[in-house]
Amino acid sequence: MNLQRIHLAYFSATGTTARYMQAISKGIDASQTNTIKLADIKTDTITIPADELIVFGIPVFSGRVPEFARKAIQQIKGNNTPAIITCIYGNRDFDDALLELKDLAQANGFNVVSAAAFVAQHSIFPKVAQGRPHTADLEEAKQFAAESIKSIHTNTTILVKGNYPYRAIKPVPLHPTTTKQCNNCGRCMKQCPVQAINPDNPKKIDKKKCISCMHCISTCPQQAKKLSGLLYWIATTKFTKSFATHRDNYMVYQTS
Ligand SMILES: Cc1cc2nc3c(=O)[nH]c(=O)nc-3n(C[C@H](O)[C@H](O)[C@H](O)COP(=O)(O)O)c2cc1C
């Protein structure tokens, strides 16, 4: 199937969701690929026509779609437009995130043709699923995309893992701190998806606004933002031990 245009609509704090999105786009033969960064959506509404395709990608935060990403996705409308939905998770569990994403997409006029939960290195505890996505994961994502658009059905709802009510939103009590390597360049402040970094002093992070997404750590050219402390050390030890077992990627498709 040759599509005129595909849209990759995603948020990626530490780059793993972005890598899966690129792999997915390689599996689809489209004349044009457009990127929609969920962190850049303000109040404007984006409408995707029925003869195009959208791929949604979100990192799983506490078993859910990150709250600001949910609000951004609500600004994207379809007209029975085919959608591939994906969530990327750090080898613990994706809980209700994929179900929530499916509900959001359907409520906004998308025809969800396939859904996947892909495993990636945990962005808070990097020893969990360290190094993933591997080449084989990315190849699987590419094949998943190709398979997804082989036959698109209308009036068919796919079933994905998840429960109602969705898991309660639990903020992560770990926030980055700033070391003396910080030279106040302001890059982290400009890119923070929830404006939690003080514009006058990028060393200061507002813990009430911070969603612990780890983007500031990942983007800092000086490596001046980091997680530290006893609580982080204890949680790292526990997480690394509890979620060491390899998990396979999860993929479901529409059936006629
Ligand atoms: C605040 C926060 C909460 C997370 N919650 C979960 C979770 O519930 N289950 C899980 O398996 N991974 C969880 N992770 C790990 C991320 O989903 C995973 O590392 C993902 O690959 C990050 O995507 P990114 O690199 O595009 O930012 C969490 C990460 C963060 C920062």
Digit-coded pLDDT (tens) for 40-60:
998 889 999 999 999 999 999
User: What pLDDT does residue 42 have?
Assistant: 84
User: What pLDDT does residue 1 have?
Assistant: 59
163, 252 in Cβ contact below 8 A? no
> What b-and-e string marks burial along 171-198, b requiring 16 or more CB atoms within 10 Å of the CB?
eeebbbebeeebeeeeebbeebbeebbe
* Distance from the alpha carbon of residue 123 to the mean position of ligand 1, in angstroms: 6
Tell me if 176 CB under 6 Å of ligand 1: no
**Which region among 15-24, 66-75, 114-123, 151-160 has the lowest average model confidence (pLDDT)?**
151-160
How many Å separate Cα 145 from the centre of its chain?
16
Distance CA 181, CA 222 (A): 6
Domain boundaries, the chain: 3-165+246-253, 177-226
Helix axes of 16-26 and 135-148: crossing angle, nearest 10 degrees: 50
| Structure tokens given for 186 | 């302001």
Q: Which CATH code of 3.40.50.300, 2.40.50.100, 3.40.50.1100, 3.40.50.360 fits the domain covering 3-165+246-253?
A: 3.40.50.360
Closest atom, ligand 1, to C-alpha of 123:
19
User: What pLDDT does residue 114 have?
Assistant: 97
Amino acid making up residue 36: I
Tell me if 214 CB under 6 Å of ligand 1: yes
User: What pLDDT does residue 43 have?
Assistant: 83
Q: 234: Cβ–Cβ under 8 A, 6 or more apart, which residues?
A: none
Q: Which CATH code of 3.40.50.261, 3.30.70.20, 3.40.50.970, 3.90.650.10 fits the domain covering 177-226?
A: 3.30.70.20
User: Is 236 strand, coil or helix?
Assistant: helix
> Which residue is listed with tokens 């813990």?
207
Topology agreement, domain 3-165+246-253 and domain 177-226: no
Q: What is the pLDDT of residues 132-162, one digit of tens each?
A: 999 999 999 999 999 999 988 887 889 999 9
* Distance from the alpha carbon of residue 12 to the mean position of ligand 1, in angstroms: 10
> Which residue is listed with tokens 């893992």?
161
Distance CA 256, CA 246 (A): 32
